[in-house]
Structure 1
Amino acid sequence: MLTTVEQLSTGEYIAAVPALVGYMPTNTIALVFTRGRMIELAVDVALDQDRYGCAAHLAKVAETRNLESVVIIAVADKHHTGPAIDFTTILAEEFNAVGITVRARAFTARLALGAEWSDLDRPVGGVITDTTATAHAIAAITTGRRIFADRRAIAACYTTVAAPAPGPVAVAAAQAAANSAGFAAATLRALAVTVSINGEPTEVLAARVSIMLTTDTTACDALLGVATIDLATAAAIYTALANQMQGAPRMHALAAVAYLHLINGSGTDSLEAITHARAEARRIKVEDNALMNTVTTGHDRIIPLTYLRGLLAVGTIAAAKFGLDLPGIS
């Protein structure tokens, strides 16, 4: 199951702050905003300013952007502890006033492995975990800010599960459904719902998508159309599905993942995905498909990114043939 904001502990939010804001802050308030099951925005706030005016402004911005909840984290040394904690109280009051849920208020003296943190509203606390590992774990549910993870951690994302093919019950159910009219359309709708809610890419869905990618070439293009709902979420879900597949379906799914990461500015992820797609193609002794060749050319900077993004239009057109009205992307 994919990580969601509900599954993150306060300690994990704290450990992810350096990756979210892009540096190692000190004497700062970090705000991590969420919407639905995703992290939408991370903001670092200096202590030496008009705290009431700043809090009111941030609450208004969050309300305007339809953000739903926030984690407030104070990072301050002993000389700034009092003002930092007071600032978190002011911020919490302003966010509550506009209907934004405060998931937690927390304090730590420093952002380092093993440093202690405390919850400012509950008698709990802990120590900060490995910031590198946490950054990678949290990246899949973060939009708006790119988190750069360790290369080995990225590569590990493309490892097939112990039994990559879905189980016999899931396969039997998918095969029975495949014989009915509208199988591909129903499968794409289920996939679209999963992407829209950052849901779990189940064994049954993996079996259905695997059959669909084997039997319907237009449906392969429609994967890119479904991804326009949310590129980052789709890439994560398609990866999880691919890891439950073998053969041509895994190759097709990973090609889509590589493409989505490429146009979304995640070159390392794209390179790992296309490497695994090629490995699967070699294993089953088939040529790279057209999308794999396009991604490879894109890595070589021969095709402009604007043109590559235009391929999403092909995906939305393909999805429309199955009755899916998707947003597309400019």
Structure 2
Amino acid sequence: MRINLSSNTDIIAAIPALLGFIPTNSIVGLVFDDLGDRRTVYVIARYDSTAPLHLALQFVDELPLRQDDGTHRRVLLVAIAESEHQAHAGDHLDALQRHITARGATVIKRLHTPRIDAGHTWTDIDTGEAGATVDYRTSEIGLQMAVEHGRIVRNTRDDIAAEFAPTEQAPAPDTETDTPEFITHTIVGMSEAFEDPATLTPQLAADAGLLITVNVSHRDALLIISTAHPETGAAVWTRLARQLRGHARIEALALAAACFYCGNDTVRTSVALEEAHATAVAAGRPDTTLVALLDTAVQTAFPPAKIRQLFAQLAAKPPTE
């Protein structure tokens, strides 16, 4: 998602909405498209400011520093670190600047604040400019996310992970055979759920869990349908994944991740993929192809808009056998 920002105060206030949670003791990197004086966020990423310094190089390696035309994007770094961690966070900012500059990109500024909520002081560590942090909940991007997308800022990333925790298991599917009637009934039911998530029942969750595991073509059909409604699709697949176990849970988490990614929620995309990987490890299974592909897209900051275009093309011209 591209968000226009105009000041250091705006940038800091936007971070919780862009991440989906309130970061503490963190190093945050905002990568901007090179559009002259207009600062337009291309991607945001973070890691713990208490981490060893060698992680700074890994962090830079994962940032999308080049635009499609080969020119470099600009980077703004923010250290959110309380007094006992401030010196180490400063070392990270120095290391990041060296690595980013070595890649040919530019660090446009480096900011520090002890906390990101209202009533604290942010400082530009290179110029000495300072200002006050404001309530992120009243920021333009915070209000936009809440009103237009229903996206609530959680207190921590762990609170986001809890959204994917297993709940009561769905019942057994209505059938154990891959019949046309079963396929049609389940796909129609899921299509209705993507329009109105309230129609999702535990039985439909069980049936869909079977459908997405017995045939990859059925899974991909539901992938195309649900990513056309990314916000409700993400909600449905998340609810469904919580009721499923094993392979079915992995596939449902991957489908949730695809919808979150199409909806520009890269944090929940990453969390859903982490849950899918953990479920696969617990079951002694390798990651599925869809999980691996989406993980690569996230790691390389492949634009969500291009993912949406890809799925739209598949819907318009389904692959032939």
TM-score, normalised relative to structure 1: 0.48
Normalised by the length of structure 2, the TM-score is: 0.49
